[in-house]
């Protein structure tokens, strides 16, 4: 049965995870199941597919792409201001205010009228996806907000299963361009960064979906993604390599020094294991971390309620792995094609083999000996 925006009661999303004890409630929520199911469904949808793959581009997809282009123009219209601080340009607050005031109307302009009742709820996630206006920072929590924005569009039926590939290769890829333009223009700080020990200062999801694109790639082995030549020749086709290119543009020095985790990951034998390990890492370091989830907003589409609190409904027909609004069953362990294993059966990150060729700046410890987040040693410390 199609989702009916006219009869559904939408809610303005609000915070529900107010203390570390609430994280367990989040982990059992239908929102958690939907978001993880969405990630895994699109992860499978782009398996082995280049960014240039021929795919259907619906009118809604085109509209969202136009919206992201419009936001990019707003950045041009709101240039950085002169200020003594090197980072956190205060002009970002003007951009954020404009998006907060005009974002809902801008979203209405690109969605068919029947979806307009959902805009007050869905647009909140778009606004949250650009960064924090108080701290002028950006991190994986803001990236997660955009994932929630896309998840909502699928749940209401504005985006459909046939839009899955384009959602990654076009919409999310364009969002990355916007996020990087914001980061560089307004000198945004990484939110909650773990420094050189983190996967990346700002993004995580493009490494997951990007590694899926590289499944069984006959020309690009994992150890090759740290090669500037390989990155230069292939970044336009693979999101993972595009991320590496951006890192090489904004950071200087040996790759093993400024991106320890990625350097270590380059020692894994296959893209399949990298992909599975990154999903496990994303759950542990983003979805299960209170400092990130305390900022997540919950409404009627992505609810904090658990399956036992809600009436049973069949799964959402538009995207395998997701339920309809109010659905009471967990996401499927089989994304499109049925090839992805259960998330909890994926090999943990600590099974990734260490790289034995770290430059003489000091040996990088294998992942299973790395301390937990929040207790990371300084970059120059020896294991």
Residue 319 belongs to some domain of the structure: yes
Task: Please name the residues in contact with 304: beta carbons below 8 A apart, sequence gap of 6 or more.
Answer: 16, 17, 25, 26, 29, 31, 298
For 9-29, what is the mean pLDDT? 96
C-alpha separations of 40 from 190, 193, 289, 309 in Å: 26, 25, 19, 25
Residue 1 belongs to some domain of the structure: no
Contact call for residues 273 and 223 (beta carbons, < 8 A)? no
Residue 48 belongs to some domain of the structure: yes
| Other beta carbons within 10 Å of 217 | 17
Residue 342 belongs to some domain of the structure: yes
| CA 311 – CA 2 distance, rounded (Å) | 18
Give pTM, 2 decimals: 0.82
> What are 114-169's pLDDT values in tens digits?
999 999 999 999 999 999 999 999 999 999 999 999 999 999 999 999 999 999 99
**Whole domain around residue 246: which residue ranges?**
14-369
- Total domain count for the chain? 1
376 pLDDT higher than 70: no
The pLDDT of residue 340 is: 31
Residue 6 belongs to some domain of the structure: no
Residue 375 belongs to some domain of the structure: no
Residue 308 belongs to some domain of the structure: yes
For 277-290, what is the mean pLDDT? 94
Residue 85's pLDDT band (cuts 50, 70, 90): confident
Q: Compute, in degrees rounded to 10, the torsion defined by CA atoms 97, 171, 117, 315.
A: -130
The pLDDT of residue 318 is: 53
Residue 351 belongs to some domain of the structure: yes
């Amino acid at each position: 049965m199609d989702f009916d925006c006219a009869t559904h009661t939408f809610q303005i999303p609000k915070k529900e995870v107010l203390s570390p004890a609430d994280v367990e409630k989040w982990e059992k929520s239908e929102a958690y199941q939907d978001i993880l199911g969405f990630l895994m469904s699109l992860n499978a949808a782009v398996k082995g597919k280049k960014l240039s793959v021929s795919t259907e581009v619906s009118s809604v997809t085109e509209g969202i792409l136009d919206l992201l282009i419009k936001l990019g123009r707003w950045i041009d219209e709101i240039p950085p201001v002169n200020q003594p601080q090197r980072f956190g340009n205060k002009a970002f607050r003007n951009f954020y205010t404009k998006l907060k005031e005009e974002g809902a109307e801008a979203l209405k302009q690109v969605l068919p009228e029947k979806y307009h009742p959902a805009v007050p709820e869905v647009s909140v996630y778009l606004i949250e996806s650009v960064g924090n206006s108080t701290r002028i920072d950006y991190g994986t929590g803001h990236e997660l907000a955009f994932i929630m924005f896309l998840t909502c569009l699928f749940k209401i039926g504005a985006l459909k299963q046939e839009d899955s590939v384009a959602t990654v290769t076009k919409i999310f890829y364009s969002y990355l361009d916007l996020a990087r333009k914001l980061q560089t223009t307004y000198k945004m700080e990484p939110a909650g960064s773990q420094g050189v020990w983190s996967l990346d200062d700002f993004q995580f999801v493009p490494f997951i979906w990007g590694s899926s694109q590289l499944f069984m790639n006959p020309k690009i082995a994992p150890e090759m993604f740290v090669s500037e030549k390989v990155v230069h020749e292939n970044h336009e086709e693979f999101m993972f390599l595009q991320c590496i290119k951006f890192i090489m543009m904004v950071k200087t020095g040996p790759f093993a020094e400024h991106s320890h985790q990625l350097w270590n990951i380059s020692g894994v034998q296959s893209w399949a294991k990298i992909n599975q390990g990154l999903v496990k890492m994303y759950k542990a370091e983003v979805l299960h971390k209170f400092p990130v989830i305390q900022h997540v907003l919950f409404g009627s589409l992505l609810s904090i309620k658990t399956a036992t609190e809600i009436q049973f409904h069949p799964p959402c027909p538009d995207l395998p792995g997701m339920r309809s609004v109010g659905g009471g069953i967990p996401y499927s362990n089989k994304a499109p094609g049925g090839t992805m294993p259960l998330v909890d059966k994926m090999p943990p990150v600590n099974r990734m083999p260490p790289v034995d060729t770290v430059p003489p700046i000091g040996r990088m410890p294998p992942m299973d000996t790395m301390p937990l987040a929040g207790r990371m040693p300084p970059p120059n410390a020896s294991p």
